[in-house]
């Protein structure tokens, strides 16, 4: 398996601006659930033959209808998914620069709101 992609529905309450406005009792259960969902999806991929790389690239792509998240908001929104992938062993020990050598973000407009999603793709670095 060359790459691994996890997709999820974005929740504006987890963006940087959303977290600033929301009470922690509202945001923490959402963060916990998203991290657990990523953990479970990562376990499924590991059962399908995914080997944890020593180094990798992480690409985050948002598919949006309406207004796109700005980059720091998208990074904050994606953090629980990345942490869940670290927890289950899909990503190396940590998501620091020594293990994640490249972290990119991109955006693509879609026609309908039901098509909105965020895709996190992990690509191992050989060598």
Query: CA-CA distances (angstroms) from residue 50 to 21, 22, 32, 82, 99?
Result: 38, 36, 24, 16, 17
Q: Could you report the per-residue pLDDT of 37-67, keeping only the tens digit for each?
A: 999 999 998 888 888 889 999 999 999 998 9
In this prediction, residue 84 carries a pLDDT of: 95
User: What global pTM score does this model have?
Assistant: 0.88
- Can you state the angle between helices 71-88 and 24-47, rounded to 10 degrees? 50
Buried b / exposed e over 44-56, threshold 16 CB at 10 Å, is: ebbeeebebbeeb
Q: Could you report the per-residue pLDDT of 79-117, keeping only the tens digit for each?
A: 999 999 999 989 888 888 989 999 999 999 999 999 999
CB 17 within 8 A of CB 77: no
């Amino acid at each position: 398996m060359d790459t691994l992609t996890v997709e999820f529905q974005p929740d504006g309450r987890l963006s940087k601006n959303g977290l600033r406005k929301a009470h922690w009792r509202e945001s923490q259960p959402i963060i916990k659930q998203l991290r657990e969902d990523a953990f479970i999806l990562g376990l499924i991929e590991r059962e399908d033959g995914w080997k944890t790389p020593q180094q990798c690239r992480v690409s985050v792509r948002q598919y949006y209808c309406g207004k796109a998240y700005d980059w720091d908001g998208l990074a904050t929104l994606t953090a629980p998914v990345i942490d869940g992938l670290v927890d289950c062993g899909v990503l190396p020990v940590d998501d620091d620069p020594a293990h994640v050598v490249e972290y990119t973000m991109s955006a693509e407009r879609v026609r309908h709101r039901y098509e909105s999603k965020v895709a996190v793709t992990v690509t191992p670095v050989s060598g």
